[in-house]
Amino acid sequence: MDVRIDFLTRTGHLSTDWRQEFILLSDTLGVSMLVESVNNHKASGETESTVLGPFYIANAPHYANGVNICLDGKGAPVWVHGRVTNARGEPIAGAMLDVWQANEDGFYDVQQKGVQPNMNLRGVFTSDAEGRYFFRSAYPRFYPIPYDGTVGEMLNALDRNPNRPAHLHFIVSAPGYEKVTTHIFTPDCPWLKDDAVFGVKESLIADFKDVDDPRQAETLGMPNPFKTVEWNSVLARAS
């Protein structure tokens, strides 16, 4: 069998409901970011998009604002908050924010069935009348993409790094607006300039701050000290 056909065949055999090796291959070849960049140009200051990644799961639990999505209790606690607006700064009420991330050990829940709680570090939130959303999570850390399959073979052959910079995923959507799939990256991650899937954009590097304030922690229902990040999403009107 032709080595190229064999490679693609084995990639297909590795793909399951929870492991999408073909998406991972597209990401690591830069194809996903190329398609994303061509089709999602932002001209008016709207939030930039990036790759979906292979670990998205539809139908995550819908939570009220303020809920803690970190079900395994690992990692430094983070208060994530912000607003969803249009390009004129007007709030978008009822926007849906689908969020997910890896845990402190560098794995998504679908990679550790029976180890992490189901739907750990996943949730869907709805912006309020002023476009605000807020929830509790854990400080993300960098992690290697799965490299025990054909994608790993490709990366090894090219002497490439398998790591992804620390990030939270967001899909933000609202009626009458274009949906945006994006990340927010931590500013202190050593892999920001060497992302295995080429997904980092300067505008998506967020400002995570350390907070040591018992009164504020109590108000937010957070342990003290904790971290906080404000992330505002700006949506483009649908064509």
Q: State pLDDT tens for residues 108-149.
A: 999 899 999 999 999 999 999 999 999 999 999 999 988 888
**In total, how many domains does the chain have?**
1
Q: Considering the chain, what is the average pLDDT of its residues? A: 93
CA distance 182 to 47: 8
Among positive and negative, which fits the CA dihedral 66, 221, 114, 52? positive
Q: Please name which of 25, 50, 58 lies closest in space to residue 165, comparing C-alpha atoms.
A: 50
Domain containing 136 equals: 3-235
Tokens of 87: 């390009």
Q: In the predicted model, what is the mean pLDDT of residues 193-200?
A: 94
SS3 of residue 111 by DSSP: helix
Ranges of H-type helices in the chain? 3-14, 21-28, 31-39, 150-157, 214-220
Q: Which tens digit of pLDDT belongs to each residue from 174-194?
A: 999 999 999 999 999 999 999
pLDDT at 35 over 90: no
Quote the DSSP letter at residue 156.
H
For residues 151-168, average pLDDT: 94
Q: What is the CATH number of the domain that holds 139?
A: 2.60.130.10
Closest to 180 measured CA to CA, from 39, 48, 91: 48
State the pLDDT at residue 164.
95
The answer on pLDDT for 19 being more than 90 is no
**Residues contacting 161, CB < 8 A, separation 6+:** 155, 191, 194, 196
In the predicted structure, residue 1 carries a pLDDT above the cut 80: no
Residue length, the chain?
239
Please compute the mean of the pLDDT values over residues 33-44 and round it to a whole number: 78
pLDDT tens for each residue of 44-78: 789 999 998 888 999 999 999 999 999 999 999 99
Instruction: Say which residues have a Cβ less than 8 Å from residue 10's Cβ, sequence separation at least 6.
Output: 149, 150
Compute the Cα dihedral for 11, 16, 18, 23 and give only its sign.
Answer: positive
HEC string of 7-46?
HHHHHHHHCCCCCCHHHHHHHHCCHHHHHHHHHCCCCCCC
Q: Tokens at residue 125, please?
A: 């939130």
